[in-house]
Amino acid sequence: MSKINATTTNDLIGNEVAESVPATSASSPIRDFLTGPYPTLVSRLLLGGIFFIAGLTKLNVPETMRQSILAYEIPLPSFLVSIMSVGLPILEVGLGIWLLIGLFVRLSAVISTGLMVIFTLAITQAWLRGLNIDCGCFGGAETNAMGLALVNALGPIGTYLATEKAGPETIIRDIIFILMGVHLFFVPTIFALDNLRSRHNTVEEEVEE
C-alpha cells in the first residue's frame, strides 16, 4: 500500500513540475510570420528596388558621385574614390536586379548588407561631426535621366529621397535595410528565380538516379 501511495505521490509531483515548465517548442505568431516566405518577398522587393533606383540615379555621372563621396570628408585614396564613382552605381544596379528577380538571393543579401553597413557608418560619422551634407544616396547635382524619372515617379517619397540629409533619419532607414538583408539571408523567399533553379537541379538529380 505504501508503495502505491509513493508512486501516486511521485506521479502527482511529476505532473505539477511538467505543468510549471513552459513549452519551449511552441513558436510565437510573430516568429511564424517573420519566418514565412511572404515577409521575405517584401524585404527582397523593397531592398532590390532601393538599390536599383539608387544605382540608376548615379549611373554614368561619375563626377557627381565623386563629389558626393568627397563631401563625407573621409580620407580615401583618390584612385579608390575614382573606382567607387564608376563601380558602385553598377554594383547597386546589379544587386537591385538580382534581388528583384530573386536570383542569387543569399549572396545578394550578404553584399547588400555589407554595403548598407558601410553607408551607415559613413553617414553616422558625418552626422556626429556636424557635416551638413546631402546623403547623395539617390543622385546629386547631376542625375542619370532614367534614374531621375523613377525618383520623380515616386512623388513625395522620391522628392524626400533625392534631398535627404546625412542624419538620424537616414541612419534609421539604413538600419532597417540592414535588417532586411539579414532577414533575406536566413529565411527563404518566394516567387524567385532561385526557386526555379532549385527545382531544376532537383529534377536533374532525380533523372540521374
* Mean pLDDT, rounded, for 136-159: 89
Residue-level pLDDT at 93 = 97
Q: What is the pLDDT of residues 2-59, one digit of tens each?
A: 444 444 444 443 443 344 444 444 568 888 888 888 999 999 999 999 999 999 999 9
User: Which residues make Cβ contacts (< 8 Å) with residue 43, sequence separation at least 6?
Assistant: 180, 181, 183, 184, 189
201 pLDDT above the threshold of 80: no
192 pLDDT band (50/70/90 cuts)?
very high
Distances (CA, A) of 5 to 2, 9, 10, 11, 19: 5, 6, 9, 10, 21
| Residue 202, all three cell numbers | 532537383
Say yes or no to pLDDT of 200 above 90: no
Report CA-CA distances (Å) from 8 to 5, 19, 194. Answer: 5, 17, 57
Q: What's the pLDDT at 209? A: 64
What is this structure's pTM? 0.82
Give the DSSP letter of residue 134: B
